[in-house]
């Protein structure tokens, strides 16, 4: 057995260490809520591949440094700069990141994710595809991409499409932050553990293995019943979000009456403020991805993502929300009615030589 201890990667933005039989990944950008960079994704992909072949490692844990969250998503400021420069760094980053997501989903050992605090966008990709997914009372999970003129990616479209009823569509189009209980209900997480017990759980996982209890067995000793999800039993969600017409969804939301009226109106207001193009393409993505394996879903998201890189709304959304922070994006087109079916279909058209091929790439473990 190799000696336990730190394994220093090329970047200190993500740290690797073996503690007993547990390989520990710590995202280490706490000031940026551990936003994922290309270097971090590459280092994780390399280390996970090594650990998959290391008999001394029985399970892997991913966690975030600091108190604010696991990961607030991809480094969108870096993406913005790359778009302004007309570079290819973002396309290269996504290819590496999506390969990492696919590897996590097929990982041959228990992959435990502490989904504590903020878990947004890319943070979902490195956690919700794992085999042991843990949320807490502090979890705030979301796929808020439509707010910045983009669409859910990192396999998020597939996860959202599998959620009960139309709750995934609601989460995708509104970009709402969800609780740990909501994450369990939607299928993004498995277990609910109080945040104060995570350190003890991590210590217990160091000895987990086939001969003395699996990772699932260890987690079960710490888990509690999740509180009720605010999304459960909301019949108006299924009624309003059915179908493929974003404009009709808005009309239904605005016509809800009774006890759900305020919630439906708030959802309509949230969707109406998003990029019309992003809303329509996100809805089409969720409908198209149903029944796909994850690799194919990621390939579709890559194709759609590159088309957004070449458009105006993604750049404008980041500018308004993150760079200038004036929170007044000028979407092009400005209304859902101006985004035609042919415009949406163009986002899914083949890219030719730029296509991402994941069906075989991640099977090297």
What are φ and ψ of residue 105, in 5° steps?
-65, -35
Buried b (16+ CB within 10 A) or exposed e, 91-103: bebbbbbbbbbbb
Residue 130 annotated to the active site: no
Residue 145 annotated to the active site: yes
Q: Regarding beta strands 118-120 and 69-71, do their DSSP bridges make them parallel or antiparallel, or are they unpaired? A: parallel
| Catalytic position from the list 69, 73, 122, 149 | 122
Strands annotated E in 12-98: 14-19, 22-27, 59-64, 69-71
- CA–CA separation, 207 vs 188, rounded Å? 26
The single-letter DSSP state of residue 55 is: T
Q: Which helix (H) or strand (E) holds 45?
A: helix 38-52
Q: What residues does 18 pair with on adjacent strands? A: 5, 23
22-27 β-sheet, strand order: 5-7, 14-19, 22-27, 59-64, 111-115, 132-135, 191-192
Answer whether 241's CB lies under 8 Å from 264's CB. Answer: no
What are φ and ψ of residue 15, in 5° steps?
-115, 145
| Catalytic position from the list 75, 97, 153, 301 | 153
| Catalytic position from the list 13, 75, 116, 145 | 145
| Catalytic position from the list 20, 23, 74, 130 | 74
Residue 74 annotated to the active site: yes
Q: Which residues are catalytic?
A: 74, 122, 145, 153
């Amino acid at each position: 057995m190799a000696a336990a201890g730190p394994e220093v990667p090329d970047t200190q933005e993500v740290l690797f260490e073996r503690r007993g039989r547990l390989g520990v990944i710590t995202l280490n950008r706490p000031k940026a809520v551990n936003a994922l960079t290309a270097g971090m994704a590459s280092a994780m992909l390399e280390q996970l591949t090594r650990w998959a072949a290391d008999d001394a490692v029985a399970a892997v844990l991913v966690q975030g440094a600091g108190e604010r969250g696991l990961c607030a998503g991809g480094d969108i400021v870096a993406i913005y700069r790359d778009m302004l420069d007309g570079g290819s760094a973002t396309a290269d980053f996504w290819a590496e990141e999506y390969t990492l997501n696919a590897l996590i989903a097929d990982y041959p050992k228990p992959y435990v994710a502490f989904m504590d605090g903020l878990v947004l966008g890319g943070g979902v990709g490195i956690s919700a595809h794992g085999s042991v997914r843990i949320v807490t009372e502090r979890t705030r999970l979301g796929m808020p991409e439509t707010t910045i003129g983009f669409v859910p990616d990192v396999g998020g479209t597939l996860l959202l499409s599998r959620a009960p009823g139309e709750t995934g569509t609601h989460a995708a189009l509104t970009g709402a932050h969800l609780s740990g209980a909501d994450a369990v209900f939607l299928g993004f997480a498995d277990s609910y553990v109080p945040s104060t017990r995570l350190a003890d759980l991590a210590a217990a996982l160091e000895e987990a293995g086939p001969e003395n209890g699996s990772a699932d067995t260890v987690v079960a000793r710490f888990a509690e019943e999740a509180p009720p999800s605010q999304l459960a039993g909301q019949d108006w969600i299924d009624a309003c979000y059915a179908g493929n017409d974003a404009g009709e969804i808005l009309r239904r939301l605005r016509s809800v009456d009774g006890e759900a009226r305020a919630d439906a109106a708030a959802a309509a207001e949230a969707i109406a403020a998003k990029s019309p193009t992003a809303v329509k393409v996100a809805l089409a993505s969720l409908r198209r991805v149903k029944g796909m394996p994850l690799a194919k879903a990621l390939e579709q998201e890559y194709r759609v993502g590159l088309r957004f890189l070449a458009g105006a709304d993604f750049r404008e959304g980041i500018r308004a929300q993150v760079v200038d922070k004036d929170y007044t994006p000028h979407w092009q087109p400005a209304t859902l009615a101006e985004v035609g079916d042919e415009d949406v279909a163009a986002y899914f058209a083949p890219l030719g030589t730029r296509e991402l091929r994941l069906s075989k790439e991640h099977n090297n473990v």
